[in-house]
Structure 1
Amino acid sequence: MASDNKSIFRTKSIEAMLSESGKGLKKVLGAFELTMLGIGAIIGTGIFVLTGVAAADYAGPALVLSFVFAAIACTFAALCYAELAAMIPVAGSAYTFGYVGLGEIWAWLIGWDLILEYVVAVAAVAVGWSGYIVALLKAGGITVPAALCNPPGQNGGIVNLPAIIVLFVVMLFLIKGVSESTKLNNILVIIKLAVVILFIVVGIGHVNPANWHPFFPYGVNGVFTGASIIFFAYVGFDAVSTAAEEVKNPQRDLPIGIVASLLVCTVLYIIVSAILTGMVPYKEFHGNAAPVAYALAKVGINWGSALVSVGAVCGISSVLLVMTFGSSRILFSLSRDGLLPTVFSEVHPKFGTPIKSTVLVGVVTMVLSGFLQIGRLAEMTNIGTLCAFCIVSASVIVLRKKRPDVTRPFACPGVPITPAISILFCLYLIYKLPQFTHMVFVIWIAIGIVVYFIYGKGHSIMNFEEQK
């Protein structure tokens, strides 16, 4: 067996992690901003796009139960996140927690996985944003040429210019500072919450219970498949923990932000999916990228449909902001630990943001969204999130045994049962994902293992710390 200083399973001490925390990054976030960050990432594509797809193709009216099942799985994982985020308020999310609990190789793999997950999600969501904004402009009498709003090979496209422009603006906001970015996010979140509540108030009077029959058109199995697909909707609270080093009182505010954002969004998802499938027969949502707006137009509320489209643009904009923020912080953490080139851990002296990580993420997502048809690759997000949840849950169990002495401002209840249930839920949802998703995941992880042994292991700061 390899010695400790050479082992790929070497762990980083909590004390070492905490000593690095906050070097250069500005601490400007509180519980409210964190909750809004979570809602900003969670309510977006999931509620405005995926609800229709999951209802039409996987669960039917039982989509309500898909959201319940996914929310239960997330709740167990969220409690684990809350314990570790409060105990180790360091940027990096599951990567950081895995490094302390399970060892360097596991931390690297989940960090590598999360980078792909976030970047692909941002690119895919930017394409969705482009579709909504082009439709809104057309409704206002402005037609964007097909060549400038589609990638090459799709409807005569050359470049998806709106997607590139919105990601460039997001990048500039994130470079300027977290405080400015969260203020923008708060405004966008308030607008989209108002739109979602408007849909609930207006739509509930147009529910026809007959549309809920049959309730299980795809069988009970469809509920679980639907849950694995819409799990994309819940990735947001992972993004909350990536902001750990920029929180003023992380021990108190991180658990509040994680749990509160999950609870608010779960309630809204369940209500919206019930009303949506009650207003319109689930089959009509097949291939529809704007199910909420479609449902309102279907029952004759065209003004509401237009408002929902505006809300969707705001909602998806906040997802882009938070997800780009999260990916840059994970890249920053990997770089600071030497597993990727250290240039990406440089912090801007004036703005206090990891500028080079932010620019790299911005450029890569702009290229992906502007010139590629993302297609099924967006499904990678689900398996990446689920794997991250497994790593975090396992780390809670390990650290309870290895480091019972460390103060836990928030203690996950029912350990080890709660994290074990979280792992089982997530493994089951991974199993239910399409085969294509499993294939892409295996290929990306294989590339990650090669990168680790060629570069990461030799450049890890653990090598130098252990030689002192």
Structure 2
Amino acid sequence: MSLGSRIFRKEKIDRYLETDKKFGKTMTAVDLISLGIGAVIGTGIFILPGTVAATKAGPAIILSFILAAIVCSTAAMCYAEFASALPVAGSAYSYGNLVFGEVIGWVLGWALILEYVLAVAAVSSAWGAYLKSFLAGFHLNIPAAIVGPFDPAKGTYGNWIAVLVVIAISLMLNHGVHSSVRINNFIVLVKIAIIILFIVVGAFFVKPSHWQPFYAFGGSGVLHGAAAVFFAYLGFDAVSSSAAEVKNPRKNMPIGIIGTLVIATILYVGVSIVLTGMVSYTKLNVADPVAFAMNLVNQNWTAGIISLGALAGMFTMMVTMIYSSSRLIYSIGRDGLLPKFLGKLDKKGTPKNSMITITIVIAFMGGFVPLDQLTNLVNIGTLIAFLFVSIGIIPLRKNKDIDNSKGFQVPFYPVLPIISALLCVLMLTQLQAETWIASAVWFAFGLILYFSYGVKHSRLNTQE
């Protein structure tokens, strides 16, 4: 068999289902929405509505969030159909293997590794710094030496708080998905309650005059604002990684993915309406616009609670992404493209080896590697996965081995998947040249790894 034929061989859905059946199926639609909200709603909800309103959209930031959600929903529906039709671990990586062939699946998996690892590493680093600032308000001081960059010459020895929170989340997840999901659900509820608290309290201080002029930057401001906040919605795709552990995935996966987007949109729009009504948009270009608005109307106690909400937001985001990345690494190890010990499940049906491996990588990067210039790579990894999942609906429908006639299907096929793919390409063109160069290096390294190790050890190519 030629190399070209080998790398484009497609996996069989029955083989994936057989391998993944060892996972315990404990998750419900509510659990999935909680995971999704945990990933999508982070500190951005307390920052973006203010800064983007001040610099790009004015009060029309409300419409920017709605427009960005509509754009994102096209990809969400494509994910929902894949998750309904193919209830397996690995998200876009496994989908790529099934409908495009192994090498495309590998590229998508490599893109998702980039997304998950960098996202969690960056947030864990920020969480450590944010916790230090939060505790300082109670006169509890964490030494700067353990919450800074690794620079011994200046007396800082890494962000050990970031390392510890990643390890703590990993231990929680390794203890069992069912108990971990319950803890995550509780923290997500606390986070949502804090957001609702801001909306309810802030509503008493809204002045309709602050919404004038509504289109402060013209109609183009709405579009520029939508482009800026589009990335706030990314993260719902992580829900699809859990498909192998979900009760009735054909029904619950679409509810989890689309439900996440709907609830996130309501929360983002709600915060935008109240924030721009409380304070003139011209004053919101500050580091913490929501807390700033509360302090401005002498609601300092609410500002303190919002800081707690920001910590909760970052924590649940890390829970979802560490969980998803462990399932992704498991899936790639399951197929032999990474060492096969990563594709093993323990007696509890947990991918312990992949969890330990990804924890070490993320903890090291969050604690000791400066990530300021690399976080934009999260966006490119996500958009590439979105692009292929959108296009992939067409070969998915044509695959006679996959029957999804009773599951969720993208409406207006094939128009909507094509529109989704074109929107992803449009968003990719908005990324900086530096981001493309850095990602090219990452994908080149990934292809070297695939052709030097993956092709030789692939389960698909070593059987039969």
Q: TM-score, normalised by structure 2?
A: 0.93
User: Is 2:152 aligned against 1:151?
Assistant: no
Q: Distance in 2 between matches of 1:96 and 1:323?
A: 17
Counting only pairs closer than 5 Å after superposition, residues 74-85 of structure 1 correspond to structure 2 as: 74-85=72-83
Q: Which residue identity does 2:70 align to in structure 1?
A: I
Distance 1:38 1:175 in 2: 19
Structure 1 residues 217 and 441 mapped into 2: Cα distance closer, same or farther (>3 Å)?
farther
Give the direction of change, closer, same or farther, for the CA distance of 1:214–1:162 in structure 2 (3 Å limit): farther
Q: 1:211 to 1:150 in 2, by over 3 A?
A: farther
Q: 2:81 is paired with a residue of what secondary structure? A: helix
- Return the alpha-carbon distance in structure 2 between the equivalents of residues 444 and 412 of structure 1: 32
- Is 1:263 the equivalent of 2:262? yes
Match of 1:69 in 2: 67
Q: Aligned in 2, Cα 1:311/1:38: closer, same or farther, shift over 3 Å?
A: same
**Residues 336-345 or 49-58, more deviating:** 49-58
Could you tell me whether the CA contact under 8 Å between 1:46 and 1:232 is conserved in 2?
Answer: no
Instruction: State the one-letter code of the partner of 2:312.
Output: C
CA distances 1:117-149 after superposition (whole Å, capped 9, x unpaired): 111100111122223321221111101122221
Q: Which residue of 2 aligns with 1:30?
A: 28
Write the distance in 2 (CA, Å) between the matches of 1:51 and 1:130.
24
* Distance apart, 1:183 and its partner CA: 0.7
Q: Write the deviation string for residues 194-239 of structure 1: whole angstroms up to 9, x where unpaired.
A: 0111111111232344544555566655544543443332223211
Q: 1:58 to 1:7 in 2, by over 3 A?
A: farther
Aligned pairs for 1:52-451 (under 5 A) are 52-153=50-151, 157-212=156-211, 215=214, 220-282=219-281, 284-286=283-285, 288=287, 290-349=288-347, 351-403=348-400, 406-408=403-405, 409-451=407-449
Q: 1:424: how far off?
A: 1.3
> Cα distance 1:456–1:222, how it changes in 2: closer, same or farther (>3 A)?
farther
Give how far 1:157 is off.
3.1
Identity among equivalent pairs (%): 43
Query: Which stretch of structure 1 is more off in the superposition, 102-111 or 268-277?
Result: 268-277
CA–CA separation in structure 2 for the residues paired with 1:364 and 1:227: 33
Aligned-partner residue type, residue 349 of structure 2 = G
Cα distance in 1 for residues equivalent to 2:435 and 2:54: 20
* Greater alpha carbon shift after TM alignment, 179-188 vs 429-438: 429-438
Residues 20-57 of structure 1 deviation map (CA, whole Å, 9 limit, x = unaligned): 2223x211111111111111111113313444444445
In structure 1, what residue type is equivalent to 2:331? S
Aligned letter for 2:184?
Answer: N
Task: Quote how far apart the aligned CAs of 1:331 are.
Answer: 0.9
Residues 145/283 of structure 1: CA separation in 2 closer, same or farther (3 Å cut): farther
Aligned counterparts of 1:220 and 1:85: Cα–Cα separation in 2: 36
**Matched length:** 462
Q: 1:156 to 1:221 in 2, by over 3 A?
A: farther
Provide the rounded CA distance (Å) in 1 between the counterparts of 2:362 and 2:282: 33
CA change 1:229–1:131 in 2 (3 A) is: farther
**Aligned equivalents of 1:223 and 1:437: distance in 2?**
25
Q: Aligned partners of 1:77, 1:120: CA distance in 2, in Å? A: 22
Contact 1:4 1:10 (C-alpha < 8 Å) held by counterparts = no
Counterparts of 1:261 and 1:30 in 2: how far apart (Å)? 13
The CA RMSD measured in Å over matched residues stands at 2.2
Structure 1: stretches of 5+ with no match in the other structure: none
Partner-residue secondary structure (3-state), 1:377: coil
Q: Is this contact kept in 1: 2:208–2:277, CA < 8 A?
A: yes
Is 1:60–1:216's contact at 8 Å kept on the other side of the alignment? yes
Residue identity in the other structure for 2:432:
P
- Post-superposition, which runs of at least 4 consecutive aligned residues in structure 1 deviate over 6 A? none
How far is the alpha carbon of 1:115 from its aligned partner? 0.5
Residues 352-400 of structure 1 show CA distances to partners (whole Å, capped at 9, x for unaligned) of 2111111121111111111122213112222211111111111111121
Aligned residue for 2:87, secondary structure, equals coil
Q: Secondary structure at the match of 1:432?
A: coil
Q: What code does the residue aligned with 1:442 have?
A: A
Distance 1:464 1:367, change over 3 A: same
Kindly indicate whether the alpha-carbon contact (under 8 Å) linking 1:60 and 1:218 is maintained by their aligned counterparts in 2: yes
CA distance in 1, matches of 2:21, 2:48: 36
Residue 67 of structure 1 contacts residue 269 of structure 1 at CA under 8 Å; is this kept in 2? yes
Amino acid at match of 1:369: G
Give the counterpart letter for 1:162 in structure 2: I
User: Comparing 247-256 with 49-58, which one deviates more in the overlay?
Assistant: 49-58
> Residues 151 and 286 (structure 1 numbering): CA distance in 2 closer, same or farther, change over 3 Å?
farther
Aligned partner of residue 61 in structure 2, secondary structure:
helix
How far apart, in 2, do the equivalents of 1:123 and 1:219 lie?
37
- The residue matched to 2:149 in structure 1 has which SS? coil
In 2: Cα distance, 1:338 partner to 1:220 partner: 51
How many Å separate the matches in 2 of 1:210 and 1:158?
50
